[in-house]
Structure 1
Amino acid sequence: MRFIDVFAGCGGLSLGLLKAGCHGVAAIEKNPMAFETLKHNLIDGERYRFDWPDWLPKKAMSCEDFLDTHKQHIQGLAGTIDLMVGGPPCQGFSTAGRRNPADPRNQMAEQYLELVKVVRPRYIVIENVSGFNSKFNEAKIKNASDEKYTKQSYAEFISGELKKIGYTVSRGKLNCADFGVPQNRHRYLIICALGDVKQNLFESLENFGRDFKKAKGLSPEKPVSAHDAIADLETRDKTLVKSTDSDPKGFKEIQYTEPDILPPYLGLMRDGYRGAPNSLRLPNHRVDTIVQFIKYRQASEPGRSLSKETRERLGLKKHAITVLSKNHSSPTITTLPDDIIHYNEPRILTARETARIQSFPDWFEFKGKYTTGGKARKLDCPRYTQIGNAVPPLLSEAIGLLLMSVAAQASDDTEVAEA
């Protein structure tokens, strides 16, 4: 199954599809920092490598640039691409922030639709935040086909446009924890098939979760916990050494040693890798910050965001902050590292710990600086942001396996009908 990944980020969707046995043709990502990580691991990688076309530069570019500059070559892909995936930037839809119907990043979903019309992939998967299907209270979104203005969610808008050009659409919200990801991360998926298809592919994916977890050696009933994901990365009883991949001086990281016995989830994350993962840099918290984190732990119920009253009592201005529950799944990993506090240690998580909770294996290396601030936030995509924005590879692997099975069954049915 040949696929194109659009709005690819650092490669979470692509990684899962490649692990499922799909073949990557191209990945489009406009941020240079995120593309550097994608390129290092999956385009020029040692374990997986895209079947990259000679006509496409291996560099960051927008979907619009891709369409404008390479349209003739893209037209040549028509009929050869089995799957197009992507998660258009979702800041305008997120219920965690200010939902803005005029946010220009919302228009990127329409560029995605233009690419679909040219390539005509057999299957389409669009992933986004759960707010993707929420209506804007005052919003009027322009429907490009009939020039009318209607009140609707962007998920409804995109689904309607895809139906008009011949796709059967199924969609809904799921929890990534149901696919072995140690995180209660609810996401909205639109899964489409070209032509009149009776099978509801979204429901098929939902039903596949238990079997997928069993195939991965995970319990189908018990969610993977934060402790299952990051226990071997705690600092207790570890030697701290100078950080190996950080430009600023003075940072430390643990000297990593693989445990003698690998529990099921940790075995998936190690994935046969024998070295120390990158992105282990520990934060350099001030003493007063550490004291404040201890107060948060004492005042909170682990696994639940601090209440408004507690935040006000502690003088905390942040909208949300959660202390991890050791024996439960993590809340949603975001792009802000100080949204989550470690369950045992008064600190934020390392980038590698957030990657583990997102189900990135240890051999996958993140590139670029760790964090950014100020005005650079709108332009930069440092490691924590790359990880927080990614589709968990375990979920995307399940999507790849399901669609390969569906495609194979459809091929068998066609052969029987022709016979």
Structure 2
Amino acid sequence: MKYIELFAGCGGLSLGLRAAGGQMLLANELSPMAAETFAYNLLGEDLSESVQPRLDTSYSQKTKWLSSRFAADDLSSRLRENPYLYPAVGDGHSDLHEAGLDLEGSLVVGNVRQLNAWLKTSHNRMALERLRDGFGKGNIDLVSGGPPCQSFSMAGMREYSNSRNVLPWEFAKFVQLTRPKFALLENVTGILRPFQVAGKQVFAWVEVAKAFAQIGMDGDEAGVAQGGYVPVCLHVNAKNAGVAQNRTRFIMLAFRRDVYDCLVRQMGERDRNLLHSSENFFAKVRQEQDVTREDLPLHDAAKVPTAFDGTFLESLAKYRSAPSVKEAIDDLHSQELSPSPYVLRINDLLGRVVQEHPGTCLARDQVANHDKRVHRFDVQARFRIYQVLSKLGKFSPHAVAVIKMLRGELDSLEDDTWEKIASERFYLTAGAPFYKCQSKDVFEAFVIALRTGKRSQRALVGDDPAPAALSIPDDTCHFLESLDGLRTLTVREMARIQSFPDNFVFRSKTTTGGHKRKYEVPQYTQVGNAVPPLLGHALGEIIQALLRQYSQGYEGARATVLKKAA
């Protein structure tokens, strides 16, 4: 499986695809901070060390900038550059050769719009041809990626007109340019919810699927992709792929039309029916008819995990019982605890394809990215309250009442709420053990003194999968009921939950704040934005199986043609 990844982030999807046997032809990522992590783990390049002059002048760096304000020898500035201020191609410093020489296996740091424009420029024609040919290895099998999701996310801005929402269409433009057999787009579930535009409902996921179906209709030299791509749209939960997280995702798997036709002839009835479900939508788009949400089925294994049973998609819903938070991170706080089967699996399956560096150590007491954050007493005291409330359940009216008091929406609690928590112990005095509150009045005064503007903080529940990861670390605290548990998760704990192996090292700064949040992608954000590698592995296995099936069908059809010709 020869693949290209756009919006590569820190490398979660690529790690999964590589573990499934994938070979990366090229990757693209906007953020230099996320790119530093990708390069370290998937290319074996330590960019911080590259700041120092290399004695080996024959070394050619695989991480290349499309256009930067800084020269190649000023790598330290490049790694902190605001990616929204990259100069236009031709105005800045570029590491790309117009003939595409030394591009194979590279990570291109830059804007995907600019990358598309660079590939379409006439004097870069040879680079585009090399890319289309897989650098001599044949047609590209897959272009994959997860365009930034903030504007689609329910936790984000929910603005259909936001400039970030054009990125899925840039993805489609790249697919038309490169003509892969398959395209794979991953995004947040929020993309499924309609936007109100000029008084009408607009479904972004349907519009994105429409863009892939339209590929080649403009006659812009689409070649083998001129028949367009048949989109199959899925709603999945990463926990059903074995991830320790309740993380629902939208997946669009698009089949190049000639590949689709070949596969349909080879597949069994259930698989054919699944693919045929998109044909009405595809035909309408190609005939330039209006399409609606009702024309495009959404195959929803997040709600009905059995929906994929017996189909080529079944690995996306293989696990009916997801690993818990305890299984993911419990061994990190005590060397006396052994890693769970979940931890052993991600370290074995995914850790073996991570590029090792001298000094990397898998010993649990030396694991990377596990620095614990130190909080003020009032923050720790609130975290203890969240731990107690987590026992009552997320939708418990008693938990809701205490949360409202913390937010300043209530000044007193009902007696039955107090009865539910009266026996619990709280962090009342800095540095002291946990104690019970002596009365409802004392507890109410304690909570009122801890009031906060934070709206989404919660404690993990050790026996459940984690909630969907957020890129802001202060939103979730540990489940461990001790002083050491009154803190947010470490980067490593979040990475474990996301299914990153322990030898995957996150680079750049740990966190950020203020106006820099608009463009910096520190370690916590890298983890939170990533495609869980185990989900990537499941998707990679699906593509590999489809490629084998396509190869058998293609070779069979070719043999038949040759036989008739003879």
TM-score when normalising by structure 2: 0.63
Instruction: Tell me the amino acid that sits aligned with residue 314 of structure 1.
Output: L
Deviation sequence 1:73-100 (CA, Å, 0-9, x none): 1343225211000111111111123311
1:74, 1:119 within 8 Å by CA — same for their partners in 2?
A: yes
Residue equivalent to 2:314 = 207
1:24, 1:51 within 8 Å by CA — same for their partners in 2?
A: no
1:89 maps to which of 133, 145, 148: 148
- Give, in angstroms, the shift of residue 185 of structure 1: 0.1
Deviation sequence 1:321-365 (CA, Å, 0-9, x none): 221111110100110111111111111100100000000001100
Residue equivalent to 1:132 = 191
1:277, 1:365 within 8 Å by CA — same for their partners in 2?
A: no
Alignment of 1:193 with 2:255, yes or no, is yes
Instruction: Tell me the amino acid that sits aligned with residue 225 of structure 1.
Output: S
2:469 maps to which of 315, 320, 333: 333
SS in 2 for 1:229: helix
1:16, 1:396 within 8 Å by CA — same for their partners in 2?
A: yes
Instruction: Tell me the amino acid that sits aligned with residue 517 of structure 2.
Output: R
Between the two proteins, the alignment pairs up a number of residues equal to 378
Distance 1:305 1:33, change over 3 A: farther
2:29, 2:107 within 8 Å by CA — same for their partners in 1?
A: no
Instruction: Tell me the amino acid that sits aligned with residue 44 of structure 1.
Output: G
Deviates more, 1:201-210 or 1:131-140: 201-210
Residue equivalent to 1:172 = 234
Alignment of 1:281 with 2:371, yes or no, is yes
Distance 1:303 1:36, change over 3 A: farther
Deviation sequence 1:27-52 (CA, Å, 0-9, x none): 10010100000011112269xx9899
- Give, in angstroms, the shift of residue 274 of structure 1: 3.4
Residue equivalent to 1:250 = none
Structure 1 unaligned residues grouped into runs of 5+: 141-149, 212-219, 239-256
Measured in 2, the distance between the counterparts of 1:210 and 1:55 equals 36
Deviates more, 1:312-321 or 1:99-108: 312-321
Measured in 2, the distance between the counterparts of 1:416 and 1:50 equals 39
SS in 2 for 1:137: strand
Residue equivalent to 1:54 = 102
Residue equivalent to 1:251 = none
Instruction: Tell me the amino acid that sits aligned with residue 84 of structure 1.
Output: V
2:39, 2:63 within 8 Å by CA — same for their partners in 1?
A: no
- Give, in angstroms, the shift of residue 263 of structure 1: 2.6
1:412 maps to which of 552, 558, 562: 552
SS in 2 for 1:222: coil
Deviates more, 1:321-330 or 1:359-368: 321-330
Measured in 1, the distance between the counterparts of 2:395 and 2:128 equals 46
- Give, in angstroms, the shift of residue 415 of structure 1: 2.3
Alignment of 1:9-408 (within 5 A): 9-44=9-44, 54-55=102-103, 58-71=107-120, 72=125, 73-78=127-132, 80-138=139-197, 151-165=201-215, 166-195=228-257, 196-197=260-261, 198=264, 199=271, 200=274, 203=308, 204=311, 206-209=313-316, 220-234=319-333, 257=335, 261-271=338-348, 274-275=362-363, 276-301=366-391, 304=394, 309-315=401-407, 316-344=452-480, 345-408=485-548
SS in 1 for 2:187: strand
Measured in 1, the distance between the counterparts of 2:316 and 2:148 equals 26
Instruction: Tell me the amino acid that sits aligned with residue 315 of structure 2.
Output: F
Measured in 1, the distance between the counterparts of 2:197 and 2:400 equals 27
Measured in 1, the distance between the counterparts of 2:12 and 2:20 equals 13
Structure 2 unaligned residues grouped into runs of 5+: 47-60, 65-100, 134-138, 216-227, 265-270, 276-298, 300-307, 352-360, 408-451, 560-566
Distance 1:81 1:377, change over 3 A: same
More helix by percentage: 2
2:30, 2:112 within 8 Å by CA — same for their partners in 1?
A: yes
Structure with greater Cα Rg: 2
2:331, 2:339 within 8 Å by CA — same for their partners in 1?
A: no
Measured in 2, the distance between the counterparts of 1:283 and 1:29 equals 29
Counting aligned pairs with the same residue, the percent is 34
